[in-house]
C-alpha cells in the first residue's frame, strides 16, 4: 500500500494526502457498485425486458379486434410518454409524487420501478423492430407446415427476433449501469452516492468523481467484452 501511495503521490497534481484519499475511497465505491449499482441494473433490466416483450408482442399483432387495438393504443401512449420525458423526472414522480396520493416506496424499489418502466419503453421498440426484421418467408414456412399464428410467432419468429435484438438490448443494459447514478438523487447508496458522501467530507471533487468514473468505465468495459462474446456466439446460429 505504501508503494501504491508513493506512486500516486508522484503523479502531477498529487501529494501524499490526496493519494490517501484516492486509495481509501476506492473500496467503498467499488463495494457500492457491486452491492447496489450492478444488482440495480440487473433487476431493472430483467423487469424492463419483460415489460418490453409484452409491449412488443401486443404492438406486432396484426388485424386485432377492438381489445387489441385498444391495448396497442395504450402501448403507444406508454412509449411516447416514457421516451418523451427525462428519466430523472420519472424517478422524482415515483419517489416524491406518489406519497402525495398515499403510496410510499423505499429508495431501492423506487429506482427499480423507474428504471424498469424506462427500459421497457426503449427495449420494446428494439424488440418490435427485431420482430419486423425477420423475413416474411419464415412466417410462410411456418404456416406451410401447419402452424397457427401463435405457434409460428413463439416457435419460429421470436427466437430469431431475440437474437437480432441482442446488440441493442446489450447496449441498453450497459447504458442502464451508467444511468443508475441517477438513483443517488433518491438516496440509493449506489456507487455515485458513496462518491458524493466522500466528497462532502474531503472536498476532493475532481479526484473522487474521476475515480468513480473510472469504476463505471471498468464495469462497462467488462460488460462490453461479454456483449461481444455473446454476439459472436449467437452469430453462429444466424
Between CA 85 and CA 63 the distance in angstroms is: 31
Q: Is the pTM of this model over 0.85?
A: yes
pLDDT digits (tens, 9 = 90+) for 62-72: 877 888 899 99
d(C-alpha 2, C-alpha 20), whole Å: 10
Joined together, the cell numbers standing for residue 184 give 443517488
Alpha-carbon distance values, 59 to 56, 72, 75, 186 (Å): 5, 5, 7, 33
Beta-carbon contacts of 231 under 8 Å, excluding residues fewer than 6 positions away, are 166, 167, 170
Overall number of domains in the chain: 1
The rounded distance, in Å, linking the Cα atoms of 115 and 83 is: 12
Query: What is the model's pLDDT at position 169?
Result: 92
The enclosing domain of 152 has a CATH number of 1.10.3720.10
**Residue-number span of the structural domain to which 229 is assigned:** 2-235
Q: Tell me the average pLDDT across 149-162.
A: 87
Does 212 have pLDDT greater than 90? yes
Amino acid at each position: 500500500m505504501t508503494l501504491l501511495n508513493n506512486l500516486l503521490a508522484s503523479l502531477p497534481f498529487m501529494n501524499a494526502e490526496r493519494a490517501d484519499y484516492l486509495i481509501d475511497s476506492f473500496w467503498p465505491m467499488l463495494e457500492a457498485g457491486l452491492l447496489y449499482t450492478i444488482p440495480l441494473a440487473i433487476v431493472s433490466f430483467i423487469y424492463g425486458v419483460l415489460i418490453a416483450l409484452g409491449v412488443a408482442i401486443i404492438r406486432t399483432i396484426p388485424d386485432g379486434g377492438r381489445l387489441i387495438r385498444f391495448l396497442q393504443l395504450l402501448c403507444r401512449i406508454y412509449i411516447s410518454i416514457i421516451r418523451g420525458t427525462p428519466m430523472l423526472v420519472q424517478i422524482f414522480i415515483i419517489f416524491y409524487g406518489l406519497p402525495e396520493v398515499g403510496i410510499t416506496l423505499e429508495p431501492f424499489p423506487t429506482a427499480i420501478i423507474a428504471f424498469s418502466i424506462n427500459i421497457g419503453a426503449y427495449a420494446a421498440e428494439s424488440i418490435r423492430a427485431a420482430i419486423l426484421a425477420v423475413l416474411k418467408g419464415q412466417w410462410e414456412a411456418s404456416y406451410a407446415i401447419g402452424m397457427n399464428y401463435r405457434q409460428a410467432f413463439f416457435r419460429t419468429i421470436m427466437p430469431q427476433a431475440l437474437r437480432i435484438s441482442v446488440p441493442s438490448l446489450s447496449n441498453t443494459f450497459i447504458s442502464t449501469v451508467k444511468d443508475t447514478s441517477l438513483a443517488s438523487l433518491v438516496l440509493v447508496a449506489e456507487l455515485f452516492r458513496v462518491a458524493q458522501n466522500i466528497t462532502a467530507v474531503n472536498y476532493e471533487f475532481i479526484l473522487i468523481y474521476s475515480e468513480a468514473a473510472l469504476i463505471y468505465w471498468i464495469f462497462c468495459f467488462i460488460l462490453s467484452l461479454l456483449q461481444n462474446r455473446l454476439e459472436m456466439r449467437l452469430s453462429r446460429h444466424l
